[in-house]
Structure formats: structure tokens, C-alpha cells
Structure 1
């Protein structure tokens, strides 16, 4: 059964929540499709929920002000649940000051709109934490998507108020993600498929086993987290 963008459907405790993916492909799943502002035309084709942001990889395709105007224009759409993915990436050529400016502009907009941020971060966690610490009244939830850092980094991020979203890296038992998951409070936890060719139920099954939970309990907690963070419930 496909869960549509219907508030009544959000009470279904047996739903899988996938907070970050790039295409609709699962049944019995509530998905947030990630769309870049350079691909704004894809929004019209979305029947479900989505996030919208200027990714650091695409700063050469679109200027920040144009991206912000597109996000603002879409902000009245009840299916737009988050800003992002946006963030910092030291593995690309774009200068970090340019990335930081685009990211902080999206932080400000997310605060204005009252929507959470879905964050891409590669090798720039110190800078990310400093931005978070220097952001006044940062009540907006910040979610690191595709987290694959070690438990020490996970603890630092959680201590600064971040949420962590884990994906296909959990399927590799020796990954940092598998180790970090076990130390992540369940109320700060999300799961996702991102662009991986893996089902969300496989990720839930693996995460539940690692956490010592049954899948139904993990689904129920994920739904509770989703409602609190994305729907202000």
C-alpha cells in the first residue's frame, strides 16, 4: 500500500520513513524526495513530500539568491517539508567561503520558514559545528544525512543538537556508521536510502538488529521523530 501525502496517513504505525531519497520506489513508505533548486521542474511531478535546496556540488550552476527565491516560492506547498540538501564539502573544488555563504543563507531561510535542514557534510564537521554554535536561536532541527562518521564525532554532533540519518553504510558491519548507530539516542535517529540501490526495509531491519529492537518499535519511533521534526507535532 502506497502512503500518500495525506495527514491522516501519517498515523499509520507500520510505515517506513525514508527521510532522504532521490526517487520514489517503495511501497508502504513515507518518503522525502531530495530535489535541487536547479531541478525545480521536478517538483511538479512529485506526488509526495520533498525537500528543496542548493547543494554545494551545484554552486556553479545557480547563484544563491536565485536558489533562495525558488525555495521561498515553493514554501507555501505543504509537501515541502525541509530545506536541503545543503551544506559543506571539502572534497570538491568550490571554495569553502562560497559554500559557507550559500549554506548560511539557507540556514536563515529555514529559520524563517520553520523547516528543518537536511545537511550534506564531507570533511567539514568542525566548520559545521562552529556554524551551529554561532547561529542564534538555532531551534530549527539540523539533520546530517548519510552519516558515516565514527562514534566520537556522532557524540559531538548529538551534543550540539544535531540529528543523524543513517543509510546504506549500515549494511557494511565494519563501517563507522554501524558503530555510531549504537550510540545514537533513538529520538535523534532517522534512516534513509539516499541514492543507494537498497530498500528502506533492509536498512530498517539492519538498524533494528544493531539496536536490539524489533522492527515495529523502530518504525513507531521513526514516525514519532518524523512528526516532531518535520511536522512540528
Structure 2
């Protein structure tokens, strides 16, 4: 469900995701067509998604100017959508298929940081990839939030370490996973290499061993 698109996100992009106020970052649930001159939280959400994919390098300031229009047209070209520079429901739907919202990104970064801080980088990406693989699977809930907060899904929820503030590397790992990078090769579960594996876990197919974690499906 997530495709590998766009350029690699720079550190300054990551920091902008962290510091943008929540009220500003959350767009209204009512869709409004956007074009040059549009302003507000939906434009911020649009710009953040374009920045994630590398189409926009300027700040996500909520003002739809010529730079945002150019970024939209380049995305539309890549997505085989009419290059109008106007963001209607078709363009936004296509954009949402290959990106995640700031809220979802924050949740992914928190689960990465709480489950894999100190792990090698691809091991951190792998944790976020497991979450996204579950979202894509018919055997799990359909949203990042529901997957992360499903009862017993992640021990760091119960321990409270999930709420630790993630660092820039955790955000970068979450973004890479959202772009479609999956070091787990489709993994749906993981456990520590040194942990005692129960019979159920042993019965699953191992997809990868990365750092201190074994991934299975």
C-alpha cells in the first residue's frame, strides 16, 4: 500500500515535522479543493506530504503559493494525474496512498524509538515496517493507530515507554518505512534474538534477523 517515491528526507525536514504545532498540522476532516491562494491546516498537511516525498523543499507554512503548485504538478505528473496544480480529491487520494499524516508519523516514530532505540538504523526502520505491514494485512486493523494500540500488540504501550519523545533518527526511520522500505521482507511480528521464543513464534516463517530482533510472518 505504500510505494517508494521521492527523495531521501534531510534532517531539517525531520525537525520541521517535530516542531510544527499540532493544531496547525491537523487538517479538517472536510475536504476542500486547494489551489494557489488557499491557506490553512489542509495546506500544511498537503505541504508536509509533498516534503516527505521530496517534491517540496520550502517550509510547510500553510500558504499555497507557486512553489507548492509546482510541487503538486510534479507529483501529479509522476502519478499520471492531469497536471493542473489544483489539489482535488483524486490528487489528495493519490498522495495519501504514498504518505502518512503527521499524527501517524509521530506514532510510528514513537513505536520505533520505544522498541528499537539503540538498534542499527535498518533495525529501526524494520519496526515501523512491521506496523505498516499489519495495516496492509487483512488480519490486523486498518489504521496505524489501531495497530499500535491493539491490546497486547506492543509491550512498550503497557510499560509506558512508548510515550518517550522520539529522536530525529526515529522520525527518519518512520519516514523511510512509510516510503516503502521494508528490511523485514513482509514481517508481521518480532521478538528479541535473546528472548525465549514460544512454540507459536517458532511456528512462523522467519523473514529477517536484524540486530537484536527476529522478524516473522
| Structure-1-length-normalised TM-score | 0.26
* Higher fraction of strand: 1
Tell me which structure has the larger Cα radius of gyration: 2
